[in-house]
């Protein structure tokens, strides 16, 4: 059996493991209302239609476990999180995108958003549990995105919608000076580091 790599070798450049497990977000924690909550998939869907899941429908999707570290661009990393949730691949089969959709916008409550490439989306999880417990309200209850290989601002808490996109557009932080792709292993922190092709103008 291969050993789990030690934490040091799992830390991208410039990151550190803090004491405790910080919670960080912009704005306040929303209240979950199961009767009115919906999760929509819209934009460049194969059918051209928007699809909305109610909470019971979403909760009935198959779930998997994913163990992953996450890296905040402010430099702390939370190691070895055990996420459980719906893999994006399940959503892609339930609501297929149009073949020309190459990008995805993840939408949280209050209009928080983050854009990722379709290839990043395929590796994402819609987490409903962390470390064998339902997500805490401040961690994104009832559903948060987990995009394990990109900076954590892309892991949108209180996720409410997924928009398939043909053309790339910047999300909340990408529009405020952060890198369009945000790969922590390449330290893609800020938009001034972008190379041609990394993002929309
Ligand atoms: N909806 C929403 N999701 C968000 C944020 C936010 O402000 N709003 N902040 C992001 C940032 S910058 C980080 S580092 C992580 C923090 O996740 P945590 O609070 O579970 O540590 O959530 C991300 N998801
Ligand atoms: Mo962050």
User: In the CATH scheme, what is the code of domain 35-193?
Assistant: 3.90.420.10
37 touches 142 (CB < 8 A): yes
Q: 139 C-alpha vs ligand 2 centroid, how far in Å?
A: 12
The domain spans of the chain are 35-193
The stretch 165-191 carries a mean pLDDT of 98
Distance CA 169, CA 157 (A): 19
Sign of the alpha-carbon torsion through 26, 129, 30, 36? positive
Distance CA 51, CA 61 (A): 14
Distances 110 to 28, 152, 159 between C-alpha atoms, Å: 9, 18, 10
Confidence of residue 92 (pLDDT cuts 50, 70, 90): very high
Maximum alpha-carbon separation in the chain: 48
**Model confidence pLDDT, tens digit, residues 116-164:** 999 999 999 999 999 999 999 999 999 999 999 999 999 999 999 999 9
Atom 7 of ligand 1, residue of closest alpha carbon: 25
Distance CA 199, CA 136 (A): 33
User: In the chain, pLDDT over 90 holds for what percent of residues?
Assistant: 94
* Residues at Cβ < 5 Å from ligand 2 ion: 72, 152-153
Q: 51 C-alpha vs ligand 1 centroid, how far in Å?
A: 25
Residue 65's beta-bridge partner residues?
84
Atom 1 of ligand 1, residue of closest alpha carbon: 157
161 touches 40 (CB < 8 A): yes
Residue whose pair of structure tokens reads 């939370």 in the numeric block: 78
| Strands 113-117, 125-130: pairing kind | unpaired
Confidence of residue 79 (pLDDT cuts 50, 70, 90): very high
**Model confidence pLDDT, tens digit, residues 12-39:** 999 999 999 899 999 999 999 999 999 9
Q: 75 C-alpha vs ligand 2 centroid, how far in Å?
A: 8
H or E element that contains 90? helix 88-94
Atom 5 of ligand 1, residue of closest alpha carbon: 25
Token pair listed for 184: 């922590």
The stretch 163-176 carries a mean pLDDT of 98
């Amino acid at each position: 059996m291969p050993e789990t790599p030690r934490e040091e070798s799992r830390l991208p450049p410039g990151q550190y493991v803090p004491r405790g497990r910080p919670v960080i977000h912009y704005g306040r924690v929303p209240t979950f209302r199961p009767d009115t909550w919906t999760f929509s998939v819209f934009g460049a869907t194969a059918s051209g239609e928007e699809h909305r899941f109610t909470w019971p429908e979403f909760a009935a999707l198959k779930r998997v476990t994913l163990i992953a570290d996450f890296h905040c661009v402010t430099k702390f990393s939370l190691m070895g999180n055990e996420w459980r949730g719906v893999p994006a691949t399940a959503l892609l089969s339930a609501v297929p995108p149009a073949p020309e959709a190459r990008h995805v916008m993840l939408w949280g409550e209050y209009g928080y958003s983050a854009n990722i490439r379709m290839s990043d989306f395929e590796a994402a999880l819609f987490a409903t549990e962390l470390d064998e417990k339902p997500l805490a309200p401040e961690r994104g209850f009832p559903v948060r995105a987990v995009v394990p290989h990109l900076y954590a601002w892309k892991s949108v808490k209180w996720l409410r919608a997924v928009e398939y996109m043909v053309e790339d557009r910047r999300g909340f932080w990408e529009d405020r000076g952060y890198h369009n792709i945000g790969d922590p292993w390449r330290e893609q922190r800020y938009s001034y580091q972008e190379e041609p092709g990394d993002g929309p103008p």
